[in-house]
Chain A
Amino acid sequence: MDENKIARDGAVIFSEYTRGEVIKKVVELNRDDILFELKESKLKGRGGAGFPTSTKWMLTAAAKADNKYVICNADEGEPGTFKDRVLLLEYPELVFDGMVIGGYTVGAKYGIVYLRGEYEYMLKSLQDYLEAMRNENLLGKNICGKEGFDFDIEIRLGSGAYVCGEETALIESLEGARGEARNRPPYPVNTGFMGRPTSVNNVETFASVVHIVTKGGQWFKQHGTDKSTGSKLFSVSGDCANPGVYELPWGTTINELLDKVGAVNTKAVQVGGASGVCLSKDQFERQLAYEDAGTGGSIMIFNESRDMVHVLKNFMEFFVEESCGQCTPCRIGNVKLLEGVEMIEKGEYTFRYINQLKELGATMQVASKCGLGQSSPNSFISILENFKEEIFNNGNGGTNGK
């Protein structure tokens, strides 16, 4: 599958690991030991929002219920993100063993992988993998001989809706409904799948947990920055010699990353996918970290030849299509922002109107119901701000040379 599989090397996620290793260790530990290591590691969720994993698992573990669930979010729909594809195809042991630890820690007997419909081509090999784990007693009843440690994993497919990556929309989808985000609170840790306590975590979060529980929170913390511990998988695409998935410690600067992937004449870097922000050259010394330029891992590179209005239009078309339409700021707002981009494209705009649209974007960021509408204005605002010379002031009466 991965024709351009770059030699995977990385200090944390891509470090040595054998299937089942951590499960054999975990059965000797109690929940609190695991939660302690996770807390010590300061691991934050890798799905984008960056919520501390130890807190999420502690809350799910503390909730009282007859049933609990662990969900692996493999919806990976953010434009420019494909690291979960690599983990699932090349490192399924990390993902599934991580889910087993999750089940043990929060007290869930049942795990679900929500795999995006676009990844159906992986389904068979993943199911075979789960079967092999069952045969080794790494899944099923009394796992590794531990009385009462029962856990199994099922894979469910999505059907082509980006918003289903949002955890409450994902749960709606699993329950057989339209993937419309829920109001929060209540949070899934209390009221999740089938109304039961549920921990939803990203594919890479589970993979990180495996290494933390195997090698310790202290070890993990040695990588990265104080606030963003460990390392991160970055999905690098666009104008560079070597696109692909890279494991880099948090705190790496954009310039360092550009060097590593062989990017030249870079004009812009979109950090965090369509819902992230677009940085210009003067910001390339910024660090990839939750406290600076945070991201679920999507890095898209644009060189000097690219038209930023075209890029922005592509993003806004994406959001207009993918908005679930449930709330007004997002449903109408994204259409208005796209119309604004089209006006700029044609050179038929006023600065007054564009400024109003930026204000609309700011309103969407606070008034939208879920993360989709809250973050969709990011690229609009950042591209128009960081590339205003190119877009508005290029010496041609502000029509971008058209």
Chain B
Amino acid sequence: MLVVEKNSLTAEIEAMVEKYGNSRSSLLPILQDVQRNHKFVSEFAQQEVARLLDIHPVEVYSVISFYSFLHSKPMGRNIVRLCQTITCDMMGKVNVAKAIERELGISFGETTKDNKFTLEYANCLGMCDQGPAMLVNDKIYPRLTPEKAVEILNEIG
């Protein structure tokens, strides 16, 4: 990583620590912000968070590895999470998944070459009355059809 990038990431994390406070209970909000801005929490970011909260970097890594929405490896700019739980499954999740995979040319668990999308499955999103449902980043899309799901992704810049 370039030195300039490092410095700006440090400054960014310092601002987060300023905002949330430097206690251990600020760890999750800080990691969530880093994740939101960068789509993953790099090793360098982990070290900086650890240093500023005065905890061991391994602790930070261990927390990241626990939560399915936090990543220590780079992800696409847009994270697509299709619900795989039973109601959405019954409402046609499989066909939606296949259509998305065909259109993006990747499988679930993968990232497109242009880094635009990462595909993941998620468990029940709390939209079971309007399934199948998916999240793209933090936006929820209910009542998907294969066609509609693909259109939604195509519209994302």
Q: How many Å from the CB of B118 to the closest CB on chain A?
A: 14
Q: How many residues of A sit at the interface, in one of the four size bands?
A: 35 or more
Residues of B within 8 Å of A322, CB to CB, are 123
A47 interface contact, C-beta 8 A: no
A158-181 interface with B by 8 A CB criterion: 158-162, 173-180
B106 within 8 A of A: no
Q: Are B129 and A82 in contact (CB under 8 A)?
A: yes
**Residues of the A chain whose Cβ atoms lie less than 8 Å from the Cβ of B28:** 156-157, 159, 173-174, 176
A76 at the interface (CB under 8 A from B): yes
Report if A321 contacts B (CB, 8 A): yes
CA distance A162 to B85 in the complex (A): 13
A311, B126: Cβ atoms closer than 8 Å = no
Please determine whether A245 and B129 come into contact, CB atoms closer than 8 angstroms: yes
Interface centre among B23, B24, B85, by most A CB within 10 Å?
B85
Known: A81-B126, A322-B123. A157 touches B143 (CB 8 A): no
Query: B127 in the interface, Cβ–Cβ < 8 Å?
Result: yes
CB distance from B80 to the nearest CB of A (A): 13
Contact A174 B25, beta carbon cutoff 8 Å: yes
| Known contacts A3-B142, A157-B29, A160-B69: A79-B87 contact under CB 8 Å | yes
**Closest CB of chain B to A101's CB: distance in Å?**
25
Which residues on the B side are within 8 Å of A300 (C-beta)?
A: 86-87, 128
CB under 8 Å from chain A, chain B span 84-104: 84-87, 89-90
Check A161/B66 contact, CB under 8 A, given A121-B139, A321-B123.
Answer: yes
Q: Name A237's contact: one of B23, B122, B129, B140 (CB within 8 Å).
A: B129
A337 to nearest B CB, angstroms?
Answer: 16
Q: With A121-B139, A121-B140 as known contacts, state yes or no: A157 contacts B32, CB within 8 Å.
A: yes
Asked if A194 is at the interface (CB within 8 A of a chain B CB), the reply is yes
Contact: A235 with B128, CB < 8 Å? Answer: yes
Q: In the complex, what residue of chain A is closest to B86 when comparing beta carbons?
A: A314
Stretch of B2-10, B11-19, B130-138, B147-155 with 4 or more beta carbons under 8 angstroms from chain A: B130-138
Nearest CB of chain A from residue B134's CB, rounded to whole Å = 11
Distance of A85 Cα from B128 Cα, bound (Å): 11
Stretch at the interface among A111-119, A136-144, A207-215: A111-119
**Which of A85, A119, A179, A239 is the one whose CB lies under 8 Å from B67?**
A179
**Interface status of A315 (Cβ within 8 A of chain B):** yes
Which interface residue of A79, A118, A178 has the most chain B CB atoms within 10 A? A118
- Is residue A318 within 8 Å, beta carbon to beta carbon, of the partner chain? yes
Instruction: Say whether B126 contacts A76, CB under 8 Å.
Output: yes
Q: Please tell me if B52 contacts chain A, counting CB pairs below 8 Å.
A: no
Is A120 at the interface (CB under 8 A from chain B)? yes
Contact B124 A77 (CB under 8 A): yes
> Which residues on A sit within 8 Å (CB–CB) of B70?
159
- A78 contact set on B, CB distance < 8 A: 124
Within residues 62 to 85 of chain B, which ones have a CB less than 8 A from any CB in chain A?
62-63, 66-70, 84-85
**Contacts A81-B126, A176-B25, A318-B85; is A238 near B90 (CB within 8 Å)?**
yes
Is the CB–CB distance between A121 and B138 below 8 Å? yes
Determine if A156 and B128 form an interchain contact, defined as CB atoms under 8 angstroms apart.
Answer: no
Q: Is A116 a contact of B62 with CB atoms below 8 Å? A: no
| In the complex, A80 has a CB within 8 A of chain B | yes
Q: Contact check: which of A173, A237, A311 meets B131 at CB < 8 Å?
A: A237
Q: Residue of B at shortest CB range from A179?
A: B66
Q: Are B86 and A315 touching (Cβ within 8 A)? A: yes
Distance of A167 Cα from B63 Cα, bound (Å): 18
Question: Are B129's CB and A236's CB within 8 A?
Answer: yes
A398 to B127, CA, bound (A): 36
Q: Which residues of B contact A45 (CB under 8 A)?
A: none
For residue B142, which residue of chain A has the nearest CB?
A: A3
Complex-state Cα separation, A200 to B131, whole angstroms: 30
B26 at the interface (CB under 8 A from A): yes
A194 to B25, CA, bound (A): 9
Asked if A396 is at the interface (CB within 8 A of a chain B CB), the reply is: no
A59 CB, nearest partner CB in chain B, Å = 23
Nearest chain A CB to B136's CB is how many angstroms away? 10
| Closest CB in chain A relative to B25 CB, distance in Å | 5
B26 surroundings in chain A (CB, below 8 A): 176
A329 at interface, CB cutoff 8 A? no
Restricting to A235-291, which residues have a CB under 8 Å from any CB of B?
235-239, 243-245, 274
In contact, B128 and A243 (Cβ under 8 angstroms): yes
A77 to B24, CA, bound (A): 25
Q: A377 vs B24: C-alpha distance in the bound complex, in angstroms?
A: 35
Q: Assuming the A-B contacts A77-B123, A79-B87, A243-B129, are A175 and B25 also in contact, with contact meaning beta carbons closer than 8 angstroms in the complex?
A: yes
The 7 closest A-B pairs by CB, nearest first: A176-B27, A159-B67, A237-B128, A160-B69, A160-B68, A243-B129, A120-B138
Which residues of A are at the interface with B, using a C-beta cutoff of 8 A?
A: 1, 3-4, 76-82, 84-85, 116-121, 156-162, 173-180, 194, 235-239, 243-245, 274, 300, 302, 306, 311, 314-315, 317-318, 321-322, 324
Q: List 22 A-B contacts (CB under 8 A).
A: A3-B143, A78-B124, A79-B87, A79-B128, A80-B87, A117-B32, A118-B125, A118-B126, A160-B69, A161-B68, A173-B28, A176-B24, A176-B26, A178-B63, A178-B66, A237-B129, A243-B130, A300-B86, A302-B90, A317-B84, A318-B85, A322-B123
